[in-house]
Structure 1
Amino acid sequence: MTTAKDLFIIAMDPQPERSVGQGDLSLALAGAELIDLIDAGTVTVAEDRIVPGEASAPQDRLLGEATALLTRESPHERIEDWLWRRGKDLSAAYQAALEEDGELTRERSGRLSFGSKRVEPADTPGRRAAAERWQEREPVLAALASAIGVEGGASDEDPGLDDDAVTAVVTSVHDAVMELEAVRQRRTIENSAFANLWRGP
């Protein structure tokens, strides 16, 4: 599977300390797609801009969609701008695709036959490959997981990324996730202030 699909499956594992937000995950998935496109030679990175190449379209449908969205005219798109544009609702697209491929199953959350269902990874070769990649702390997957707060991600002892373009993408993912968190905190403060205004002294 792709790095983005592996990341989605890893992010679904229970995290009692912190659940991964859909917005954070969507930004990281967009970064994972970009890294796979770099590895495939579909794009290169010049400073902080994404430069499409002449490589054939990826076989994976979602990576193909990402390739079709690339800005081919100069000046090319900045990595950060790509993350926000491609990342919009991307986690929902990956959930739907993985369910369609049989990588995710819906399990009822209770003994009764009715009630909400939760999605969890199915026992497939794809899931086992993602788990193996995670257990080996593959640097790209570990770095992206760390960016969205998944426990057991990159640490000071883990090997670093050895590609400048990949490092630029991971750094941009970290920055975008922090920016999103800042927006959430600002909205929380604004909503609290508005509620206090209505309550009065």
Structure 2
Amino acid sequence: MTTAKDLFIIALGHPRPEQAVGQGDLSLALAGAELIDLISAEAVTVDGDHIVPGGAPTLDDRLLDEAAAQLIRQPPHERIEDWLWRRGRDLSAAYQTALLEDGALTRKRSGLLSFGSNVVEPVDTPGRREAAARWEEKEPVLVALASAAGVGGGRSEEEPGFDDEAVTTVVAAVHDAVMELEAVRQRRTIENSAFANLWRG
């Protein structure tokens, strides 16, 4: 499976009930995972903080093909952060649908991570075992993206090093985007609380 699918499977199995993974956080991390897979496939390169599309290799994954098709190919090329927000919109729901269609997920009555009224869990497939193996081996990219999304004990200040500077840039951008999203959430909470207090007063 792709890094994004592995990340989604890991996210389903690891959040604790009191520390649920946010859909927005996971969607941003999934967009980052897709970009890293596109870098590995030599479909894109990173120039500073911009995404430069390359050739059009066969990616053998519908969602990754969709991601490649959404790349902006004309200069000025898109910034990584802008890509994360644009591609990441509702991406966790898209992965849930795709994995359900592939038979990698099944619906159940209750679970750790749910989207709306849908509660799903991974099916014991070779793909799930591969994702679990990457997680157990603490594969640096998967661990870093999971950490950004709050999976496996939350976000860590110390991330593993990467051999590829482009991957380092993408992971850093994912962390920055997730922090920005959290800041927006906190601001809305404060504004809503102040509004409620105004009406009570």
TM-score by length of 1: 0.92
Match of 1:65 in 2: 66
Q: For the Cα contact (< 8 Å) 2:14–2:151, is it kept in 1? A: no
Match of 2:48 in 1: 47
Match of 1:8 in 2: 8
| Residue correspondence of structure 1 range 11-22 to structure 2 within 5 A | 11-16=11-16, 17-22=18-23
- 1:56 CA drift (Å): 1.9
Q: For the Cα contact (< 8 Å) 1:147–1:177, is it kept in 2? A: yes
Which one has the largest radius of gyration?
1
Aligned pairs, number: 195
Q: For the Cα contact (< 8 Å) 2:10–2:131, is it kept in 1? A: yes
- 1:155 CA drift (Å): 6.5
Tell me the SS of whatever aligns to 2:147. helix
- 1:156 CA drift (Å): 8.1
Query: Residue 77 and residue 43 in structure 1: after superposition, are their counterparts in 2 closer, same or farther (change >3 A)?
Result: same
Amino acid at match of 1:7: L
Q: For the Cα contact (< 8 Å) 1:143–1:153, is it kept in 2? A: no
| Identity rate, percent | 76
> Which protein, 1 or 2, shows the higher relative CO under an 8 Å CA cutoff with sep ≥ 6?
2
- 1:105 CA drift (Å): 0.5
TM-score by length of 2: 0.92
- 1:117 CA drift (Å): 5.8
Distance 1:76 1:159 in 2: 28
Match of 1:113 in 2: none
Tell me the SS of whatever aligns to 1:108. coil
Q: For the Cα contact (< 8 Å) 1:142–1:154, is it kept in 2? A: no
Match of 1:24 in 2: 25
Q: 4+ runs of 1 displaced by more than 3 Å?
A: 152-159
Q: For the Cα contact (< 8 Å) 1:137–1:153, is it kept in 2? A: no
Q: For the Cα contact (< 8 Å) 2:105–2:123, is it kept in 1? A: yes
- 1:118 CA drift (Å): 2.2
Distance 1:69 1:22 in 2: 21
Tell me the SS of whatever aligns to 2:121. strand
Match of 2:77 in 1: 76
- CA-atom RMSD, angstroms? 1.9
Distance 1:155 1:89 in 2: 25
Structure 1 unaligned blocks of 5 or more: 111-115
Distance 1:186 1:30 in 2: 24
Structure 2 unaligned blocks of 5 or more: 112-116
- 1:158 CA drift (Å): 7.2
Tell me the SS of whatever aligns to 1:120. strand
Distance 2:73 2:24 in 1: 26
